[in-house]
């Protein structure tokens, strides 16, 4: 359980395998272990050393109760890459983690050799603003959803119709969601960070090779928002995967893993 003390903040990370590192950055409220079941085995089998990060605000990394910014998250990833001492790295970001990686691509492009950006956006649309406002209102009102209700809402938001209509699979997902219900008050520091101004024009300055992956049935970050990012990046490829929602990396892991490993192989050493 390595802990890096980066600019006064304790960040927990794990490493798997050997080879050139791939740093993986999670979304809102998610621990680094979310990559362990599907993405870590695929990337290590492809010859990469995988580094997964618990973003600040996610235990055992520091909670940073006084708050932090998207720029702080990007700086954390930069400091972690520098601490590895291997130069520029390949990086994978998902949802809020992808937005943080995009800010890192602007601030410190020399640290990233190639980037995969999943379920990402370059601006705040009306639905994202409404969802975030509702989350913040729930937290500030000291409200807490019952685990079973939270599981049902999480399923509707994050899974594809294909999974929702498969009753056996859906029961398994609901059981997992109920057991892993997130107390939104514990991740208060990350809520609202995805409320960003329109950054698409700025992204035109990024020249690092990028793969942007959208999930066709994503209701949290609709795929047209991810396509906008790909259209803005001058050195990017866009892939949209059918049959999966916001949790596409878990619903269709083989397709996601193949897209990542093929892209990194094509991007070269």
Would you please indicate which residues are annotated as catalytic (active-site) residues? Answer: 95, 218, 246
Residues in the chain: 269
Alpha-carbon distance of 195 to 128, in angstroms, equals: 8
Alpha-carbon distance of 189 to 95, in angstroms, equals: 16
Sheet holding 3-6, edge to edge: 3-6, 9-16, 48-54, 20-25, 89-94, 112-118, 210-215, 236-241
What sign does the dihedral 175-28-185-129 (CA atoms) show? negative
- Do 54 and 60 touch, CB atoms closer than 8 A? yes
Determine the straight-line distance between the first and last CA of the chain, rounded to whole angstroms: 29
DSSP secondary structure of 61-104: S---TT---HHHHHHHHHHHHHHHTSSSEEEEEETHHHHHHHHH
- Do 115 and 210 touch, CB atoms closer than 8 A? yes
What sign does the dihedral 226-43-102-97 (CA atoms) show? positive
What sign does the dihedral 33-34-37-43 (CA atoms) show? negative
Residue 233: phi and psi, rounded to 5, are -75, 125
């Amino acid at each position: 359980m390595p802990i890096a003390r980066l600019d006064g903040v304790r960040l927990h990370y794990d490493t798997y395998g050997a080879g050139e590192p791939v740093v993986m950055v999670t979304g809102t409220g998610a621990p680094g272990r979310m990559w362990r079941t599907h993405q870590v085995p695929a990337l290590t089998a492809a010859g990469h050393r995988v580094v997964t990060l618990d973003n600040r605000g996610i235990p055992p990394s520091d909670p940073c109760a006084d708050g932090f910014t998207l720029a702080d998250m990007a700086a954390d990833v930069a400091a972690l890459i520098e601490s590895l001492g291997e130069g520029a790295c390949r990086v994978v970001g998902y949802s809020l983690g992808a937005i943080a990686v995009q800010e890192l691509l602007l601030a410190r492009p020399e640290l990233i050799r190639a980037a995969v950006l999943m379920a990402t956006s370059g601006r705040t649309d009306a639905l994202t603003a409404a969802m975030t406002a509702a989350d913040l209102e729930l937290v500030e009102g000291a409200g807490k959803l019952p685990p079973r209700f939270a599981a049902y809402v999480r399923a509707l938001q994050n899974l594809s119709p294909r999974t929702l209509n498969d009753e056996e699979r859906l029961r398994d997902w609901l059981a997992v969601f109920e057991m892993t219900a997130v107390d939104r008050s514990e991740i208060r520091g990350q809520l609202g960070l995805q409320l960003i101004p329109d950054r698409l024009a700025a992204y035109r300055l990024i020249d690092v090779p990028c793969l942007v992956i959208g999930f066709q049935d994503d209701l949290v970050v609709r795929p047209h928002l991810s396509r906008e990012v790909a259209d803005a990046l001058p050195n990017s490829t866009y892939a949209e995967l059918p049959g999966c929602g916001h949790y596409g990396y878990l619903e269709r892991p083989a397709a996601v893993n193949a897209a990542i490993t093929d892209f990194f192989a094509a991007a070269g050493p």
